[in-house]
């Protein structure tokens, strides 16, 4: 079975970043990588220092925007 990782920039994003079909462990790894890249970007570009609680909130918010979805066998062939 293959999976894709989908990352939106907001809940209304009509053009999310989508990975190629991956094995489950690769999809989990990529989702984690994309999450950390996004969180790091937010923290690095913040004009203010980020508290631990704010950091945890950023991670939780960004996790809501990343999905791992199973790809049907017909989709894999495309």
pLDDT exceeds cutoff 60 at 53: yes
* Domain boundaries defined on the chain: 2-76
Specify the pTM. Answer: 0.87
DSSP secondary structure of 26-59: HHHHHHHHHHHHHHHHHHHT-SS---HHHHHHHH
50 — pLDDT class (breaks 50, 70, 90): very high
């Amino acid at each position: 079975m293959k999976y894709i990782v989908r990352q939106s920039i907001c809940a209304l994003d009509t053009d999310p970043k989508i990975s190629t079909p991956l094995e489950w462990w690769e999809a989990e790894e990529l989702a984690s990588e994309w999450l950390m890249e996004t969180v790091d970007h937010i923290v690095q570009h913040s004009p203010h220092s980020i508290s631990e609680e704010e950091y945890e909130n950023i991670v939780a918010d960004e996790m809501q925007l990343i999905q791992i979805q199973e790809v049907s066998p017909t989709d894999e062939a495309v």
